[in-house]
Amino acid sequence: MTQMTHARRHPAFRPVQIVAHRGASEDAPEHTLAAYRKAIEDGADALECDVRLTADGHLVCVHDRRVNRTSNGRGAVSALELADLAALDFGSWKTRESVRARGEEPDWEHRPEDREATSVLTLERLLELVADAGRRVELAIETKHPTRWAGQVEERLLMLLKRFGLDAPPSPEESQVRVMSFSARSLHRVRAASPTLPTVYLMQFVSPRLRDGRLPAGVRVAGPSIRIVRNQPAYVERWKAAGHRVHVWTVNEPEDVDLCVDLGVDAIITNRPRAVLRRLGR
């Protein structure tokens, strides 16, 4: 993989925010405490996580509907209780060899004895990590859909954010948390309950009704994939002209970082926060 060694300048009036996708997930197992600790150490401005609801009502940070890919267990998150998930190993699949295969030296190592670092991560624990970071670290939380717990995910999420005093910021611009989803309905539920909590509409493709720069009602941040941005960079200009911000996922290659900066996007979501920060001269 191409190394990011070229410092690139970006507009001083609004630095591009670097968001660690599932933590520093290219170096450490995604959605684990180890990955998020490393992202904070690497200097990420924000952390991205996916949340799913367990059978007994806990929000956990797991991307896939099933745990098969990222743990030594099997089954759907929604059918398992937190205790079932806590018994699994979410770290051993990510080996030092997989990092070395990229021609890099790993600075993370799976240690079976460090259970907390590679156990299932609850959103509550991640919020505690952010609160104790020693600096402002924002959090981009994606609700996963479809789900058997439709509506309950958003309800539990807002309840948990309220416990941390993050559910009702004075304004979207001052919020430390934003909620993202491919589901406009999910974002509508969030906005109805907490109007000042910013929302991001994620897109794998741009539907015809949104090609003029519009977003679903009340949403102020577009979340296109890097594929959309590569193929149709004019969409970024349209969203910006409509007064929206643009957060692009998942941006890992140097040329894609440069493209996003040149287009004036507001946030880059990446598996490689340290490398991207270096690319930007930070």
- At residue 23, the pLDDT reads 98
Express each pLDDT in 176-213 by its tens digit. Answer: 999 999 999 999 999 999 999 999 999 999 999 999 99
Instruction: Single out the catalytic residue among 31, 63, 110, 244.
Output: 63
Express each pLDDT in 131-158 by its tens digit. Answer: 999 999 999 999 998 777 779 999 999 9
Instruction: Single out the catalytic residue among 10, 21, 31, 110.
Output: 21
**Given a cut of 90, is residue 115 above it in pLDDT?**
no
Confidence of residue 102 (pLDDT cuts 50, 70, 90): low
**Coil, helix or strand for 35?**
helix
Q: In terms of CATH, what superfamily is 17-279?
A: Phosphatidylinositol (PI) phosphodiesterase (3.20.20.190)
- Look at the chain and count its residues: 282
Q: Find the mean pLDDT for residues 82-88.
A: 97
**Coil, helix or strand for 133?**
coil
**Coil, helix or strand for 42?**
helix
- At residue 279, the pLDDT reads 97
- At residue 178, the pLDDT reads 98
**Given a cut of 50, is residue 12 above it in pLDDT?**
no
Supply the DSSP string of 6-32, one letter for each residue.
------TTSPPEEEEETTTTTTS-TTS
Distance of CA 32 to CAs 9, 25, 68, 126, 130, Å? 32, 9, 15, 9, 14
**Given a cut of 80, is residue 96 above it in pLDDT?**
no
Express each pLDDT in 205-243 by its tens digit. Answer: 999 999 999 999 999 999 999 999 999 999 999 999 999
- At residue 106, the pLDDT reads 56
**Tally of CB atoms within 10 A around 248:** 28
> In whole numbers, what is the pLDDT of the chain averaged over residues?
91
- At residue 147, the pLDDT reads 73
Residue 41's contacts (CB-CB under 8 Å, 6 or more residues apart) are: none
Express each pLDDT in 34-53 by its tens digit. Answer: 999 999 999 999 999 999 99
247 catalytic, yes or no? no
Supply the DSSP string of 180-220, one letter for each residue.
EES-HHHHHHHHHH-TTS-EEEEESS--GGGTTS--STT--
21 catalytic, yes or no? yes
From the CA atom positions of the chain, what is the Rg in Å?
18
- At residue 10, the pLDDT reads 42
Q: Which of 71, 225, 62, 251 is nearest to 141 (CA)?
A: 62
**Given a cut of 50, is residue 9 above it in pLDDT?**
no
Structure tokens at 93: 């699949």
**Given a cut of 90, is residue 280 above it in pLDDT?**
yes
